[in-house]
Amino acid sequence: MPQEKKTFDCVELKNRIQAEIARENDGLTADERRKRIRHELETSDDPVARTRRSPASREMTVH
């Protein structure tokens, strides 16, 4: 069977996203990174952030 040409490279996308996040976090302390992530989760309309803010998720979270 001939191989189909890939139209999407998930590894390349992952590497690009990780590099962007590394640039954004460059120079931040671990505490500053945690605060930034917490702020983004509290204010984002992303499905992951909304799930994290749900009451069921808060019950399972250990601080």
The per-residue pLDDT for 32 is 97
CA-nearest of 34, 60, 20, 63 to 42 is 34
User: Which residues of the chain register pLDDT less than 50?
Assistant: none
- Answer for the pair 51, 62: CB distance below 8 angstroms, yes or no: no
Domain boundaries, the chain: 27-53
Over pLDDT 70: what percentage of the chain? 90
- Answer for the pair 57, 51: CB distance below 8 angstroms, yes or no: yes
The per-residue pLDDT for 39 is 93
- Answer for the pair 49, 41: CB distance below 8 angstroms, yes or no: yes
Report which residue type is found at 4: E
The per-residue pLDDT for 53 is 85
The per-residue pLDDT for 61 is 59
Structure tokens at 1: 């069977």
- Answer for the pair 41, 54: CB distance below 8 angstroms, yes or no: no
The per-residue pLDDT for 6 is 79
